Amino acid sequence: MQITPSIHAIRHVFRIPVAPGIALDRFVYSYLIYGEMITLIDTGVAGCEKQIFEYIRSTGRNPSEIALIILTHSHPDHIGSAQAIQRATGCSIAAHRAERAWIEDVELQNRERPVPGFATLVGGPVPVDHELVDGDTVEPDETRTGEMRVLFTPGHSAGSISLYLHNEGALFCGDAVPVFGELPVYDDVLLSVRSVKKLKALRGIRVLLSAWDEPRRGDDAYRQMDLALDYLRKVHEAVLISAGDGVPDLMELTGKAAAVLGLPPQAVTPLLARTFAANLRARGEYIQEGSHE
């Protein structure tokens, strides 16, 4: 769907197998910025290149016009079809340096952060041509869309970035803004809180473009960031209450905290346990809720 004259969103639906006969239904967004050439932000899972190419053709453009892929981070649902797209178009790949190793060596990522069905979600590695750092600017098309500023927003992952296209008032936040009530995924809860606050401090956001949420416009964009802060606090409290004063078995704790949060039983996986372990590491820290201003 078209978000602004220059920005298009593509919703990819996929499934994560968590046990024999059991799968989590998920979706993820990738975004196209149309200018003289096309910039693609995130690529979905393996096979999503077909949907991306079909959409581009449906708008009268050609997939060969993709000149740059910006990866907000290295997780499977963001890099899954990057290899196929890069091979088909010859485009460049950009990401934060802290994500480089897992993008260029997907087997390393699978060993260090195993995800159910990883091999079916990721088509293969790609070389990172450009390392992005906080404050960098990218110009998808200097004649129309203007500069896009890189914002370092770690927490969900070590090198997560967001992108602010000022002229459009569009904030691409990847997975940096958790969705209230959905599966919480992050490696550092305190950094996640700081990153959401950093994004919330931006003035003039007209549309919030997340990977795991529908596009949010105007005041609703800021409301979603308040809700994200509330959810981070709620998850933190649920984990600490479930843990008590001892050192619990992590998977047992994950089951208890998931039940407190109302998450489905199939969500109790090592990936969710990784998130809850981040809350245990931050035991004793206060997680501030959103202001709802």
pLDDT digits (tens, 9 = 90+) for 260-276: 999 998 889 899 999 99
Residue 59 lies in a domain: yes
Arithmetic mean of pLDDT, 182-205:
96
In a domain, 265, yes or no: no
In the predicted structure, residue 291 carries a pLDDT above the cut 60 = no
Q: What are 98-116's pLDDT values in tens digits?
A: 999 999 999 999 999 998 8
* Mean predicted lDDT score pLDDT of the chain: 93
Tokens 């050609």 belong to: 62
Whichever domain contains 104, its CATH number is: 3.60.15.10
pLDDT beyond 80 at 289: no
Q: Mean pLDDT check: name the lowest of 16-25, 46-55, 241-250, 271-280.
A: 16-25
**Section 285-293 average pLDDT:** 62
Tell me what the mean pLDDT of segment 232-253 comes to: 91
Q: Is residue 229 classed as helix, strand or coil in its secondary structure?
A: helix
Asked if the model's pLDDT at residue 24 lies above 80, the reply is no
Q: How far is CA 134 from CA 70, 77, 92, 172, in A?
A: 14, 23, 19, 14
Is residue 80 domain-resident?
A: yes
Question: Within 10 A of 146 (CB to CB), how many other CB atoms are there?
Answer: 17
Asked if the structure places residue 244 within a domain, the reply is: no
Q: Is residue 260 situated within a structural domain?
A: no
Mean pLDDT over residues 211-238, rounded? 96
**How far, in Å, are 4, 21, 32, 207 from residue 7 at the CA level?**
5, 38, 6, 11
**Based on the structure, what is the number of domains in the chain?**
1
CB neighbours of 259 closer than 8 A, spacing ≥ 6? none
Q: For residue 147, name the pLDDT band (cuts at 50, 70, 90).
A: confident
The predicted structure's pLDDT at residue 140: 74
Residue 36 has pLDDT above 70, yes or no: yes
Is 162 part of a structural domain of the chain? yes
Q: What is the pTM of this model?
A: 0.94
Please report whether residue 214 resides in a domain: yes
Its domain, for residue 202, covers: 7-229
Higher pLDDT residue, 245 or 211? 211
DSSP 2: B
Classify residue 133: in a domain, yes or no: yes
Mean pLDDT of 22-48: 93
* Contact between 82 and 99 (Cβ < 8 Å): no
Helix (H, G, I), strand (E, B) or coil at 183: coil
Burial category of 201 from C-beta neighbours within 10 Å (exposed 0-12, middle 13-18, buried 19 and up): exposed
| Residue 293 pLDDT | 43
The DSSP bridge pattern shows strands 161-165 and 66-70 to be: unpaired
Q: What angle do CA 209, 138, 135 make, to 5 degrees?
A: 85
pLDDT value at position 144? 62
pLDDT of residue 256: 95
